Amino acid sequence: MDSRFSEDYDPASDVQLELAETGDWDEALEAYRDRQKWKQQGAARLRAAGFTDAQIRQWEKGGEKDIDDVRWSGAGEKREW
């Protein structure tokens, strides 16, 4: 412990940095680009598979319902549920 308080102490000598491999970074970047490309082409693939525009809009929103999905019944009409 006394050696760490001496005048000639270099804290860099206590730490050994490991350089990250660039292969992991390249693979992660490629996976990210693939996901972005998949999202951009997603609507076109769904249309080609025969999904309706309403289903495609729901997929683009992430599948969660919000206020725009509520269909209000008019006076004298039956409710959906």
The residue extents of the domains of the chain are: 22-63
Max alpha carbon distance in the chain (Å)? 90
pLDDT of 13 over the 70 cut = yes
pLDDT digits (tens, 9 = 90+) for 18-37: 665 666 888 889 999 999 88
Read off the pLDDT band of 2 (50, 70, 90).
Answer: low
pLDDT at site 49: 92
- Residues 58, 75: contact at Cβ < 8 Å? no
- The most confident of the ranges 6-10, 30-34, 61-65 is 30-34
| Locus of tokens 């929103």 | 61
Q: Is the pTM of this model over 0.95?
A: no
* DSSP state at residue 19: P
